Amino acid sequence: MGRRRDADRITEPVDTGLAELVPDPDRSGSWTLLLDGAPQSHVDLTDPTHLEFEYVRRLAAAIDLVAPAGAPLRVLHLGGGALTLPRYVAATRPGSTQRVVEVDGALVELVRRALPWRADPRLKVRVGDARAVLASCREASYDVVVADVFAGARTPARLTSVEYAAEAARVLHPAGWYLANVADGPPLRHARGQVATVRTVLPRACLVADAAVLRGRRYGNLVLVAGRQDPPVAALTRRAAGDWFPGRVLAGAELDRFTGGAAVVHDDGAIDSTPPPPGIFSVRR
């Protein structure tokens, strides 16, 4: 099956499904990447600091706040998509060392060709399995690990367990941070389980999301920030409240109540994350 163009849209089969690059009608030079119809990334090739997706802005806010502004960081990105967040970090924290792990080699080549990122010898993209690459990393070699891995709009089971979380904690500097995009819907069993699981190894945490998602009223993205020291809750709360789509931050006793005694997930009982409801995704084409 060959590549085809329909106006400016690009559609191409990749290793994990059918990729589409859809131009943003409101922003010249901006594109949305979809995989089998599910939005994966939005990038502005002229302004990498423009972040269209709500959960990406929350991940970026965490990265902005966990270290002094502009200070270089060592960041491991599990899941690449169109490299929205790596482009942001490169622009806002020059000199950062970044490693991006993406399982879909054909997708990497499509993005490299159609949505090229700025040349930076410190930004390396590796095709591989996220957990296998994580296991190969040196202890305390990263300041931030970002987990944003989806297959068929679901996080694979092998990236939801305490054994996986322990590997992420191992490669983090003692003052480092684990950031995860957790997608879930009512009754939020997956999200509660992920908070309980990650806090087993990185106990100081907070959760950022839309209030309706946190209350279990609709499906959406929740951003987990976890480490070995207290996260910047007050600053994250201000950023979330001032977003285009205001969000809430749960920490301390509120986060304990949210978790509600959820069981820690182990490899032998792990399952893929909750699938999104049918018809939830729609992108202007």
Kindly indicate the confidence band of residue 52, based on its pLDDT and cuts at 50, 70 and 90. Answer: very high
Query: 67-124, pLDDT tens digit by residue?
Result: 999 999 999 999 999 999 999 999 999 999 999 999 999 999 999 999 999 999 999 9
Question: How wide is the angle at C-alpha 33 spanned by C-alphas 133 and 44, nearest 5°?
Answer: 100
Query: 19-41, pLDDT tens digit by residue?
Result: 999 999 999 999 999 999 999 99
pLDDT, position 7:
59
For residue 276, the SS3 value is: coil
From the list 133, 194, 144, the residue with the least C-alpha distance to 169 is: 144
Query: 221-266, pLDDT tens digit by residue?
Result: 999 999 999 999 999 999 999 999 999 999 999 999 999 999 999 9
* High-pLDDT (> 90) share of the chain, %: 93
Question: How wide is the angle at C-alpha 101 spanned by C-alphas 99 and 105, nearest 5°?
Answer: 125
CA distance 102 to 226: 22
Q: What is the DSSP letter of 157?
A: G
pLDDT, position 8:
87
Kindly calculate the radius of gyration of the chain based on its CA atoms and give it in whole angstroms: 18
Query: 149-204, pLDDT tens digit by residue?
Result: 998 789 999 999 999 999 999 999 999 999 999 999 999 999 999 999 999 999 99
For residue 102, the SS3 value is: strand
Q: The tokens of 133 are what?
A: 């690459």
CA distance 172 to 207: 19
pTM of this prediction? 0.95
In what helix (H) or strand (E) does residue 198 lie, and over which residues does it extend? helix 189-199
Q: The tokens of 180 are what?
A: 């995860």
CA distance 206 to 240: 12
Residue reference for tokens 């790596």 = 86
Alpha helix segments (H runs only) across 33-153: 54-65, 84-92, 105-114, 130-136
pLDDT, position 283:
42
